[in-house]
Chains A and B, each alone.
Chain A
């Protein structure tokens, strides 16, 4: 056989070795499970390493988890679920201190305690940091603990699909493992497990311009979606206003915090002079600044028709080198610009996906045995807008919970209901120009095409393995076109139409473009015939995942005709609580997407959060 199909068995499989995956694996190991991490990148190469700012945790006198919860709920624009938010804020302190006990090199105060700093939207300086490289240290510290515990890591194994039973109702389905491609050898491997935790991170590659890594292709989200798990609130995507134009590398908010100024091509300080933010100017919230920048460019006042200038020269060399040294390196290395001599070009870029795989506060999805944690998941703590410093605590809090639960620890019954049965309402009149979902007679997806119902775990994995084997053979053997142009057209369409500005017509055009990509994708083939390290094959499969991700984002964006958090609609520039205080769910539904809504849970343990105007 070309593919030496092999099978492995573990109690728990964690897909992904970023912050969420590592924490999940450590938790499962603590609980006594035989756990393995299967990851397409070596764990230390995960994009958690790029996080700069810090981890929000209420650690100090004068601060309290309830304040953190209040800030988070307000930041979410009342689309976060209270049980998830309260769990996050109550558990973040112990999880953060746990990292310290594992040796994470946090920055320190005079008295030797860990340092915290203020961050946007927070009522207390609770962002716990390690220099400007918090994510790097968090990632490495947890990987070190994984090494210490001898957890098995299958690194450079690309997970292609889940092994899920094919019951018609997703809530009856069971996940028995997953199928991976050994990148170095080209072998396909079946992993059989009682619990599978998806921790595959972000999906910024659905956009043309992003702070996300090249590997952030939404694989886990797409796999769970096709296995029947709803994608929750997909329309909520955070765009960061200051990213470098050629690469998308993030220029921290710190530059504006220190006094950096944004100019258009006419030398105007447009945030004030054009009235976008008369009070806060450069320090207005991320979405306001991002929209202002794009308006300038669209109206012909962009520099080179593409970006605006972020100038910090007036701060003086001494202050810049002292507080923003890292920024000088980034601008120099990734844009070829000397921030001491010239302004730095910046434009908005995709940064974070609030939406994701629907889970309850124990990390479990509606498919039994299938979990998700980290950026790929939506437990919903961020609602429609994530506060800076709230993603890293999400990784460790919900990564750990998913790990414990999958390994059998009783975390109590979840308050958040999942799956189609949690539906409160169905979307019936969405005006889509083309029908989304699978093409007629398209390739079979995660759930088998009507064969006998395999329920025996091993048989389920073997069936899935066989399907993936065929998929790989087909892509390698047939003649066809390369995926790269399809991916790039998809990214362009998303950045053009589903960016910080969204309007009905544009969103419909995006759906057409996505449909076109899907159709062209029917013709892709992998030109590299090799079994060894075939990245052509992997990127081709990722592109399929990106198509599904992009479609869920766009469907959600078209459905939600209001302005909430990061989601802005031209025709509907206000928050409509009467109509839209609800989660969007997009479910694959065997290839015929079903869009429905579920209630937001604003009732906390002790109080109910009342929606208020989000102003700072």
Chain B
């Protein structure tokens, strides 16, 4: 197991960091830690010992090979893989394993996560060569025999890496928001009356409304990789969700079809199904894209 990142040497400190340190040591009320150096070292060693013991005592361990990169830290400027040995327990997810490694070996190991239950969409990762949510992936399922061995964890491909497993999501968000993903009908009933919607129509949009904005689909898509302006499966699915919702009037549906028919819209999709395969919410993305293509054709025929 490799150890994590060590603090840059004193002489490598940038000038501004040194200034900051001086200020902190000077007037700052935050001051120095209360333990002395020897005590701090002893405490940190004791933590490491506890981690080692947990590994030794475990019936099984899993070996994480994790992608590391940080443009600001000299040792991490060049991308590399670190390995972490983590005690395995039944029910352990890839996210659990990552958190264990971070909390016991290297607190600089960086990844997004929050809900731990596949609803927040924070932790789409490239695990053993496939886009998956870390929290929804059982470590045991990654091995044929249920006994975990090695797990390779990388950031989502086709996205800019910010640090370690964190990628820049801005482009994904821009695409999502470009399809006007909001209800626009101003003509809603008065008072406590809801708009009526048939069960069939609700059923039709149901799967499309489950998207958690994780970006797995976009990362798996070859077309999106080659055409940065392509809306991508998630944004088109979002457009589907609104275009198919009977509560918005027909004029709006037409407006929405125009949006997805643009140059970098639905017609780019070559039905490779990679998005559908990786979607953690089982959304039939390719089907939805095809359905929009059909609607667009219908609309165009009407106006001929």
Interface residues of A (CB under 8 A from B): 1-2, 41-42, 44-47, 49-50, 59, 93-94, 97, 100-103, 105-114, 131, 133, 135-137, 140-141, 144-145, 147-148, 184, 213-215, 244-250, 330, 333-337, 443-444, 449, 470-471, 473-482, 484-485, 488, 519, 522-536, 539
Contact = CB atoms under 8 A, between A and B. Distances in A.
Contact of B192 (A93, A103, A471, A535): A93
Interface in B183-198: 183-185, 188-189, 191-198
A43 B12 CA distance: 38
A485 B40 CA distance: 14
Contacts of B205: 105
B20 A47 contact: no
B196 A112 contact: yes
16 contacts: A2-B20, A44-B213, A45-B112, A105-B205, A112-B196, A136-B210, A245-B91, A248-B116, A481-B47, A482-B44, A484-B102, A523-B33, A526-B107, A528-B107, A529-B72, A533-B163
A532 B91 contact: no
A526 B34 CA distance: 15
B206 interface: yes
Contacts of A527: 4-5, 7, 106-108
Given A443-B29, A523-B35, A145 B182 contact: yes
A333 B116 CA distance: 11
Interface in B96-137: 96, 102-104, 106-108, 110-122, 135-136
B115 A49 contact: yes
Given A100-B195, A147-B181, A214-B113, A246 B21 contact: no
B117 A330 contact: yes
Contact of A482 (B47, B73, B183): B47
B108 to A, nearest CB: 3
A111 to B, nearest CB: 7
Contact of A246 (B17, B19, B92, B193): B92
A479 B40 contact: yes
A217 to B, nearest CB: 11
A45 B116 CA distance: 11
A267 to B, nearest CB: 21
A103 B186 CA distance: 11
A531 B5 CA distance: 14
Nearest to A99: B194
A485 B47 contact: yes
A466 B91 CA distance: 45
A105 B72 CA distance: 44
A395 B37 CA distance: 48
A477 B17 contact: yes
Contacts of A334: 91, 93, 116-117, 135-136
Contacts of B40: 479-481, 523
A103 B245 contact: yes
A2 B108 contact: no
Given A97-B192, A333-B136, A335-B91, A479 B24 contact: no
A216 to B, nearest CB: 8
B28 A470 contact: yes
A528 B162 contact: no
Shortest beta-carbon contacts, A-B, top 5: A103-B183, A112-B196, A528-B108, A144-B182, A474-B30
A245 B210 CA distance: 26
Nearest to B133: A333
A575 to B, nearest CB: 35
A145 B188 CA distance: 15
Given A101-B188, A528-B110, 7 more contacts: A42-B169, A148-B180, A474-B30, A477-B24, A488-B103, A530-B73, A532-B71
A292 to B, nearest CB: 24
B115 to A, nearest CB: 5
A291 B225 CA distance: 53
Nearest to A52: B119
A536 B164 CA distance: 13
Contact of A49 (B5, B47, B120, B169): B120
B33 A478 contact: yes
A449 B31 CA distance: 14
B117 A41 contact: no
B23 interface: yes
A533 B33 CA distance: 24
Given A47-B114, A136-B119, A481-B44, A247 B93 contact: yes
Given A94-B192, A247-B117, A523-B34, A474 B73 contact: no
A2 B182 CA distance: 40
A323 B107 CA distance: 42
Nearest to B199: A108
Nearest to A51: B119
Contacts of A135: 119
B58 to A, nearest CB: 15
B121 A44 contact: yes
B23 to A, nearest CB: 6
Contacts of B121: 44-45
Contact of A336 (B5, B43, B135, B140): B140
Contacts of A103: 182-183, 185, 242, 245, 247-248
A214 B116 contact: yes
A336 B92 CA distance: 8
Given A144-B183, A482-B47, A533-B163, A336 B90 contact: yes
Contact of A41 (B23, B122, B141, B248): B122
A590 to B, nearest CB: 14
A45 B196 contact: no
B166 interface: yes
B222 to A, nearest CB: 26
A429 to B, nearest CB: 32
Given A49-B212, A97-B192, A246-B91, A529 B114 contact: no
B89 A246 contact: yes
A50 B166 CA distance: 22
Contact of B173 (A42, A113, A144, A337): A42
Contacts of A47: 114-115, 120
B199 to A, nearest CB: 5
A247 B198 contact: no
B8 interface: yes
Contact of B199 (A110, A214, A245, A532): A110
A97 B195 CA distance: 9
Contact of A97 (B107, B122, B140, B194): B194
